Chain A
Amino acid sequence: MTKKRKSVLSDQRFIVLLVVIALTAIFSVMSKEFRQYNTLLSLLDFSYYDLLMAIGVTFPLITAGVDLSIGTGMVCYALIGGSLIRNYGCPVIIAMLVCVLLGVVIGTLNGVLIGVMNLPPFLATLCSCMITRGIGSLFSATPWPGLTQEGGWFHSIYKLTIGSGRSADRYPIGFLWMVLLVLLMEFVLNHTKFGRYTIAIGSNKEAAALSGINVKFYHVMVYVVCGLFVGLAATAYAAVTPTVQPGTGAGLEMDAIGGVFVGGVAASGGYGSVLGTFVGIYVIMLLKTGLPYIGLQANWQQIITGIVLIVAVLIDILKEKKGAH
């Protein structure tokens, strides 16, 4: 047995961080437009909902499960929230709470299907993906209040605007909240019972059950927490998307799940880190934002995300194979 190698250099999270820096450098050198503050601003704007979904889905992935309903779910909740505001005059804050609550409800549903009824995770959540997409498309496209409209204050959660019009200064304070949330969830993963048992379920479910852990409960909770974050993501999505379109959202889960795998979650479960997810998402976001600037159609990004996902998983599988010998 080799001595443990715990140098920073072999930590995937660190390597991914280097990739983030390298990508930023490459895009900045290749494109003048990329270097502008506005680019950074929009990159961050559009990263929040992806990141929130990714933080959530990190937990199911650690248990060797998955949640495919995060993308359509998020859009569905944002639509419902929007229509509550527009059609029923509901205060924005209530609409936001409804989003989160809906996330928790669908999360619980997923959790029960998987943890209690033992359906395969990808199949159960593929169904809830369809169901949320279907529910979403029952609502009409409804914009949440704009920044200057009544209730527009919620935009300031993610982006603080001082002044008005073209000369306004905008500060991406959402990033700060994200950092705090990432740290909080990293703490939850590593220092609470919930986090510990999430890892235990992914690593060796049987041993966890034999140690007297209520495996079913924690398995359901994993999906509840995931749903909670999808609910939060819905509010971030509403803040950056002028009009949420019904029937969309499919495919958004790919960016989030891709980011988590880039961040180093193990394909066979048992290992993952929210910090990893954090850096992983920014690799995806940089590709998404940066590629058009160097002349690649935005659609290349879809292909590249697919390939990145496969490569990230392959690296993990090969590492594990090597470790087995």
Chain B
Amino acid sequence: MEKLKQNPIVKKLGLNRILLVGILIVMFVVFRAVLGSKFPIVDSIKSTLNYVYFLGFLSLGVTFVIATGGIDFSIGPVMFCCALISGYCMTSYGVPCALAMVICILVGLCFGVFNGWLVSYMSVPPFIVSMASMNIAKGLASVFTKTQSVSWPLGSDPENGWFRNIVSYNGFPTGLVIFLLFAVLCGIILYRTKPGRYILCLGSNSEAVRLSGVNTKKWRMLSYIICGTMAGIAALFFVATYTTVQPGYGDQYNNEAIAGCVMGGTSMVGGLASIGGTVIGVCIISLLQQGIMAFGLGKGQQMIITGIIVIVAVYADVSARRRKN
């Protein structure tokens, strides 16, 4: 094992990530072997990817917040709120599709600013802020849409159907390309830019960073803003895949997004984050979701399994940290 860890290729890729990819492949093979034709290879990959897109953006966003040692579990409802408000603008007020997309992202940004300001400048505990803004997002969406579900234009729509190309263009998975581009971008921000450096460092030791003359409040807030904005982008991918959104939902995606993040090796205590891990983690969660559906099981089982996965992943992280100290 030690020898394997020292292998330069393994070191470069990270043992964790290799293991996660292994899990991913094994899961796929097992599903295929057990379910046979009920788990068609191409279609399953397609539907898994569709799930990966929106969940991936949520997960990438929340990775930044968790890296600072905080938490945001309002992202699911915020995502729905973005899609509902902007979609309603389009269907009821005739706002052009492109503008609606911008509004969608802006709504997410606003939630990010709100959450970040409360957490870093007003010192409200993150979980309370999450709870409150989860409610506000749900309420706002319901009020705005008068509790109606909103459907974004179908691909056949001559005027606005083009926006679905963000997910797939004539069968080409543009969504995958965009998602991976964003993942790379997030990686660059987190590891190669000043804000990312500060976010990681303050998650590890906020006081030492402050005493180095860094405005920790500002950068902590930024992580929440990134998270909110990503929820806005996630909303676009959600509607481009599933068309319709209903007010009052979205909580379950919080947990799935956090699960993807924590499985990928981002520590809940802060300071350690892996974008690559998050990407693979999200793939695992999405594949699991497809597998459970193919087994004929429902959302219920999926939620239970996700819940258990998070507990196990966090406990592994907590006890690994304790052993180190």
Task: List CB contacts (< 8 Å) of B295-325 with chain A.
Answer: 298-308, 310-311, 314-315, 318-319, 322
Q: Are A66 and B135 in contact (CB under 8 A)?
A: no
Q: Are B122 and A317 in contact (CB under 8 A)?
A: yes
Q: Are B254 and A119 in contact (CB under 8 A)?
A: no
Closest to B125 in A: A267
Q: Are B140 and A303 in contact (CB under 8 A)?
A: yes
B20 touches A (CB below 8 Å)? no
Question: CA A130 – CA B248 in complex, angstroms?
Answer: 16
Q: Are B136 and A307 in contact (CB under 8 A)?
A: yes
Closest CB in chain A relative to B81 CB, distance in Å? 11
The 8 Å CB contact of A127, one of B118, B125, B136, B311, is B311
Instruction: Report chain B residues within 8 Å CB of A199.
Output: none
The 8 Å CB contact of B304, one of A119, A130, A246, is A130
Binds A, one of B126-134, B216-224, B275-283: B126-134
Question: CA A152 – CA B134 in complex, angstroms?
Answer: 36
Closest CB in chain B relative to A58 CB, distance in Å? 15
The verdict on A119 contacting B122 (CB below 8 Å), with A126-B73, A134-B299 known, is: no
Question: CA A66 – CA B135 in complex, angstroms?
Answer: 17
B6 touches A (CB below 8 Å)? no
Question: CA A127 – CA B138 in complex, angstroms?
Answer: 20
Q: Are A124 and B143 in contact (CB under 8 A)?
A: no
Q: Are B299 and A247 in contact (CB under 8 A)?
A: yes
B155 touches A (CB below 8 Å)? no
Q: Are A134 and B132 in contact (CB under 8 A)?
A: no
Q: Are A302 and B135 in contact (CB under 8 A)?
A: yes
The 8 Å CB contact of A130, one of B135, B136, B255, is B255
Instruction: Report chain B residues within 8 Å CB of A66.
Output: 127
Closest to B145 in A: A299
Closest to A138 in B: B300
Binds B, one of A83-91, A218-226, A308-316: A308-316
The verdict on A300 contacting B143 (CB below 8 Å), with A113-B311, A122-B71, A135-B300 known, is: yes
Q: Are B127 and A131 in contact (CB under 8 A)?
A: no
B123 touches A (CB below 8 Å)? yes
Question: CA A250 – CA B247 in complex, angstroms?
Answer: 13
The verdict on A313 contacting B128 (CB below 8 Å), with A119-B315, A134-B307 known, is: yes
The verdict on A310 contacting B128 (CB below 8 Å), with A119-B314, A137-B299, A302-B138 known, is: yes
Task: Describe B's contact surface by its main secondary structure.
Answer: helix
The verdict on A297 contacting B132 (CB below 8 Å), with A133-B303, A138-B300 known, is: no
Q: Are A135 and B304 in contact (CB under 8 A)?
A: yes
Question: CA A299 – CA B148 in complex, angstroms?
Answer: 12
A39 touches B (CB below 8 Å)? no
Q: Are A127 and B255 in contact (CB under 8 A)?
A: yes
Task: List CB contacts (< 8 Å) of B124-176 with chain A.
Answer: 124-125, 127-136, 138-140, 142-143, 146-147
Q: Are A131 and B133 in contact (CB under 8 A)?
A: no
Question: CA A307 – CA B114 in complex, angstroms?
Answer: 12
Instruction: Report chain B residues within 8 Å CB of A305.
Output: 135, 139
A118 touches B (CB below 8 Å)? yes
Closest to A246 in B: B300
Q: Are B135 and A126 in contact (CB under 8 A)?
A: no
Instruction: Report chain A residues within 8 Å CB of B132.
Output: 254, 306-307, 309-310
Instruction: Report chain B residues within 8 Å CB of A135.
Output: 300, 304
| Complex interface bits, A113-131 against B, C-beta within 8 A gives 1, otherwise 0 | 1000111101110111111
Closest CB in chain B relative to A192 CB, distance in Å? 28
Question: CA A297 – CA B199 in complex, angstroms?
Answer: 40
Instruction: Report chain B residues within 8 Å CB of A242.
Output: none
B44 touches A (CB below 8 Å)? no
The verdict on A134 contacting B318 (CB below 8 Å), with A124-B311, A127-B310, A267-B124 known, is: no
Q: Are B300 and A317 in contact (CB under 8 A)?
A: no
Q: Are B308 and A127 in contact (CB under 8 A)?
A: yes
Closest CB in chain A relative to B120 CB, distance in Å? 13
Q: Are B303 and A134 in contact (CB under 8 A)?
A: yes
Question: CA A120 – CA B66 in complex, angstroms?
Answer: 13
Instruction: Report chain A residues within 8 Å CB of B138.
Output: 251, 302
Q: Are B307 and A128 in contact (CB under 8 A)?
A: yes
The verdict on A120 contacting B268 (CB below 8 Å), with A299-B142, A299-B143 known, is: yes
Instruction: Report chain B residues within 8 Å CB of A123.
Output: 71, 258, 268, 310, 314
B243 touches A (CB below 8 Å)? no
Question: CA A286 – CA B293 in complex, angstroms?
Answer: 42
Instruction: Report chain A residues within 8 Å CB of B143.
Output: 297, 299-300, 303
Closest CB in chain B relative to A293 CB, distance in Å? 17
Closest CB in chain B relative to A324 CB, distance in Å? 12
Closest to A268 in B: B125
The 8 Å CB contact of A297, one of B142, B254, B301, B319, is B142
Closest to A133 in B: B303
A279 touches B (CB below 8 Å)? no
Question: CA A128 – CA B128 in complex, angstroms?
Answer: 17
Instruction: Report chain A residues within 8 Å CB of B306.
Output: 130
The verdict on A134 contacting B302 (CB below 8 Å), with A297-B142, A303-B140, A303-B143 known, is: yes
B252 touches A (CB below 8 Å)? yes
Instruction: Report chain A residues within 8 Å CB of B268.
Output: 120, 123
Instruction: Report chain B residues within 8 Å CB of A134.
Output: 299-305, 307
Closest to B318 in A: A118
Instruction: Report chain A residues within 8 Å CB of B301.
Output: 134, 138
Given contacts A127-B311, A305-B135, 7 further A-B contacts (CB under 8 A): A117-B315, A126-B254, A130-B304, A137-B298, A300-B143, A303-B136, A307-B132
The 18 listed contacts between A and B (C-beta, < 8 Å) are A117-B319, A119-B314, A124-B311, A126-B254, A126-B310, A134-B301, A134-B303, A134-B305, A135-B300, A137-B299, A254-B131, A297-B146, A299-B142, A303-B135, A303-B140, A304-B139, A305-B135, A309-B135
6 nearest A-B residue pairs (beta carbon):
A302-B139, A134-B303, A303-B139, A299-B142, A137-B300, A134-B304
